[in-house]
Amino acid sequence: MEEWRQCGRWLIDCKVLPQNHRVVWPSAVVFDLAQALRDGVLLCQMLHNLSPGSVDLKEINFRPQMSQVIWLMELVRDAAS
């Protein structure tokens, strides 16, 4: 099994991704894992799971679509500078 698929399976086993997440679909590509990890939310959840209280989950934006919008806005702003 490819390492990125193993990573996706591990994230599911650690309960930071749902069982049916697209990273385990037969048609999945490494980009699917990269998309899941891009905003850092899963990594914060993982850290919280491994060491409860180490991350204040109230400070995390759990709306990844908003994170992507903000990222795009910052990208456009930086490109205009």
> If you search the block for the tokens 């490494």, which residue do you land on?
30
Confidence (pLDDT) at 72: 67
Tokens of 47: 């850290």
CB 11 within 8 A of CB 23: yes
Confidence (pLDDT) at 60:
76
Number of domains in the chain: 1
* pLDDT for 40: 83
Rg (CA), the chain: 15
Whole-number pLDDT of residue 33: 93
User: Can you tell me the distance from the alpha carbon of 23 to that of 42, in angstroms, rounded to the nearest whole number?
Assistant: 13
- What averages of pLDDT result for each successive group of 10 residues across the chain (81 residues)? 94 93 95 88 87 84 62 76 73
Question: In whole angstroms, what is the distance from residue 39 CA to residue 64 CA?
Answer: 7
The whole domain housing 33 covers 3-80
What CATH number corresponds to the domain at position 44?
Answer: 1.10.418.10
User: Which pLDDT value is given to residue 56?
Assistant: 85
For residue 29 the two structure tokens come to 């590509």
